Chains A and B, each alone.
Chain A
Amino acid sequence: MSEHATKYYLPDPSPWPILMTLSLFSLLLGTALTINSLWPGMVFVMLGLALFAYLMFAWFGDIVRENSEGLYNEAVDSSFRQGMVWFIASEVFFFLAFFASLYYLRNVAADWLTGNGYLAGTNELLYNQFFAEWPRTAPGLKDEFTPMSAWGVPAINTVILLTSGATITWAHWGLKTENRALLIRGLALTIALGLIFVVMQAMEYQEAYTHLHLTLKSGVYGSTFFMLTGFHGLHVTVGSIMLAAVLGRSLKGHFTPQNHFAFEAVAWYWHFVDVVWLGLFIFVYIM
């Protein structure tokens, strides 16, 4: 951070914002078309993703360059930290909503459908043979499914993520104590563990679909299981990509003990992903 910059840095106009808008529009349009089985859908999705990937590299590249040229001051640094806090707030509420829906289904809606509570009438009106059981087959669901057990791959994956939390912490202390080797090694190990986690989750999904007959359509258990674990897996993937970017920058010597916000932001994100997994392990897999 330069001591000489006294004014908040205003960059020259750039094409990144409008291109980002185009990329997201293409992604959204493509998704809508794909869901409705219209062929140009996947083309738009791929284009949108490709443009998004390029923009991540180009836009963040500009920010890294501006920082290394000493154009940023305390105010800019503060704005990045605030931006991250707001982004994290949105992520917290995102996962909270899914956990809340799981709670609501099991503890509130199921109760009403069984004939208890203030909406007990739904039992008579909708389906008077309903009884609350979790995980249960929804009425009319033809295929019985086997619920996912916690004590196989999910438990192993918990160990993997916990270990990755330890390795990123090693990297963090390596950064703080100017131990570059430890920083690099810790980051590389964390990325490797994250990728192993995602691969193992994908294999578990395969197992669920082929042998357990557990799919997205397996009633509310199937829906909540795949939505929660699926979005978590997506966050692990994105986190791993961010860690890889930080590793690249670490190898280039971008971080100093005074100037390393990107590392700490990404490290925090990784810890967040681990805590969400613990919540999943308890509330989705065990309970």
Chain B
Amino acid sequence: MGIVFKLPAIVLMLLTAGVLLEALYFLSRDHGDKDKTRVARALSIRVSLALVLFVMLIAGAFLGLIQPHGL
């Protein structure tokens, strides 16, 4: 698995985790106000990033860029 593939995958993974933690911060701050949608928006972004990452992994598998257990 080349670095060309590994690096974007790691970046996406870190971004996904980062947005999730950001959502946690918003959850601790926003007192459920009706107009505050920061948590919902951050979590929506989280799902989208995760989807992109998964599609990338599937594409990598189909293109033969990923060897099983080939670290």
Q: Is A149 an interface residue when CB atoms closer than 8 A count as contact?
A: yes
Q: Is B68 an interface residue when CB atoms closer than 8 A count as contact?
A: yes
How many A residues face the partner with a CB closer than 8 A?
Answer: 45
C-alpha gap A83/B45 in the complex (Å): 25
Chain B residues in 8 Å Cβ range of A260: 32
A121-170 with Cβ < 8 A to chain B: 134-135, 147, 149-151, 155, 158-159, 162, 165-166, 169
Count A/B pairs, Cβ under 8 Å: 101
C-alpha gap A135/B27 in the complex (Å): 40
Q: Is the CB of A151 within 8 A of B61?
A: yes
Q: Is the CB of A275 within 8 A of B32?
A: no
Q: Which of B32, B46, B61, B70 has the most CB of A within 10 A?
A: B32
Chain A residues in 8 Å Cβ range of B27: 81, 84-85, 264-265, 268
Q: Is B59 an interface residue when CB atoms closer than 8 A count as contact?
A: no
With A162-B47, A169-B47, A271-B47 as contacts: A258 and B53 at CB distance below 8 Å: no
C-alpha gap A33/B17 in the complex (Å): 39
CB-nearest residue of chain B relative to A133?
A: B69
Select B69's contact among A81, A135, A258, beta carbons within 8 Å.
Answer: A135
A to B CB contacts below 8 Å, 14 in the list: A77-B32, A85-B27, A88-B24, A155-B58, A159-B54, A162-B47, A165-B47, A172-B39, A176-B34, A176-B40, A275-B16, A275-B46, A278-B13, A278-B54
Chain A positions within 8 Å of B, measured between CB atoms, are 1, 74, 77-78, 81-82, 84-85, 88, 106, 134-135, 147, 149-151, 155, 158-159, 162, 165-166, 169, 172-173, 176, 257-261, 264-265, 267-268, 271-272, 274-275, 278-279, 281-282, 286-287
